[in-house]
Homo-oligomer: A and B are copies of this chain.
Amino acid sequence: MQLDKLVHFHKALGDPTRIRIVTLLKQGPLHGQAIANKLGLKPPTITHHVAKLRDIGLVYQRRDRNTIYFYLDHKKLEFNANAILKIGEETKVTQEMKVEEKDKLSIIKNFFDADGTLKQIPSQQKKKLVALAYMIRQLEPGKTYNEKEINEYIKQYHGDFATIRREWVMHHFMYRENGQYELNPKEMWPVIF
């Protein structure tokens, strides 16, 4: 159930230290000791809190030499903050676009060649979304790609990478931020493969 995710998200923000960490990271990445100093706490305490924020996907990290920088995932924050407003209604939305598993498979079979390439982009909305979800499945959540990488990836399926890339963004499979592309959480997808 998605209830649990909502609970964990709000529980994570239900603590003054973690709210302050989020506030700090909003302005840019920081490493652990910097956070500890700014908040007047010890490093183990920061590890403890950052772990909780990472568990719910709100924070990710990148290493630079000995130092680990923590980043805030703004999109995820926004998405989760709004989730409580949509609870109970999202059932309707996803229900309308629910596609049976066997239908998904037959769509794939019809529109993809034996070698895995896309014969043509389906014009019917539902089928198009299934094809888009299928093709995006090998991109990694949390990883950022530049436009060239995305194009190369798409080419294994179809030559018109511009259209497919645009459709992915348009239907919230991914988002673009100053030239970088990244997967959205699957809950935002109109269809999951």
Which A residues are within 8 Å of any B CB, using their own CB? 3-4, 6-8, 10-16, 19-20, 22-24, 26-27, 38-40, 77-78, 81-82, 84-85, 87-88, 91-92, 95, 141-142, 185-188
Contacts and interface: CB of A to CB of B under 8 A. Distances in A.
Q: Is the interface of A mostly helix, strand, loop or mixed?
A: helix
Contact of A27 (B15, B77, B92, B186): B92
A109 B4 CA distance: 55
A7 B14 contact: yes
A26 B83 CA distance: 13
A112 to B, nearest CB: 29
A39 B81 contact: no
A27 B6 CA distance: 18
